[in-house]
Amino acid sequence: MIDLHTHSLLSDGELIPSELIRRAEAIGYKAIAITDHVDSSNIDFVVPRIVSAIKKLSGFISIEAIPGAEITHAPPQIIPDLVKEARLLGAKIVVVHGETIIEPVASGTNRAAIEANADILAHPGIISVEDLLFAKEKGITLEITSRNGHSLSNGHVAKEAMRFGVPLCINTDAHSPSDLITRETAISILLASGIEENRIGSIFENSKALMEKALRMD
């Protein structure tokens, strides 16, 4: 399992980074990105601490741990600047908290995330055709999620992304250890989202490509 969207207690998760990584390692993860929630109030605090924690674990863990950030509920107008700042601070995976149907995310957030070249647009809700085509043009990966609530729109995201050829990945958006999943569970979620079995391998390959791109940034 390659999981590129998780949270530690540096935002609203339950675990410190080292325990989150260890628990992922113990259930067979190949890679995990820690992408705590950030906006302009805390980005300069959170991202460097994730970077530092992962750096100090280097050589002592058997999985790839990747520092990241999830830009969350920021006004769409400032998302491009926050994406740039996250990268300058050392985030190798930048996720934007998309227009999920269960939270009052500002309209235009999906579009701003794509325009800003975020790596992953998380739980984008009822994403429009215009934004799907823009994501395809920009090569932005859309997320299928195992997270309760956010997963309610998985079927729409999967159907429309496959229709237009937009890359997909699967992540947990984990906030607690029980949120981490096995590859087998990920496959079940993808099938339940309406993705054909013969297309599931390509979704895992998308995650692998994002991981490898992030690791090349060392």
Which CA distances in Å does 216 have to 34, 66, 209?
17, 11, 11
Per-residue model confidence as pLDDT tens digits over 87-133: 999 999 999 999 999 999 999 999 999 999 999 999 999 999 999 99
For residue 88, report the phi and psi dihedrals to the nearest 5 degrees. -65, -30
Residue 218 has pLDDT above 80, yes or no: no
Per this entry, what is the length of the chain? 218
Residue pair 201/170 in contact by the 8 Å Cβ criterion: no
Q: CA 48, CA 199: separation in Å to the nearest integer?
A: 37
Q: Of 108, 212, 128, 129, which Cα lies nearest the Cα of 169?
A: 212
Q: CA 133, CA 162: separation in Å to the nearest integer?
A: 11
- The CATH number of residue 171's host domain is 3.20.20.140
* Coil, strand or helix at 109: helix
Model pLDDT, residue 56: 97
Domain count within the chain: 1
Query: Could you tell me the residue range of the domain that residue 74 belongs to?
Result: 2-215
Q: CA 120, CA 170: separation in Å to the nearest integer?
A: 10
Per-residue model confidence as pLDDT tens digits over 2-44: 999 999 999 999 999 999 999 999 999 999 999 999 999 999 9
45: pLDDT confidence band, cut at 50, 70 and 90? very high
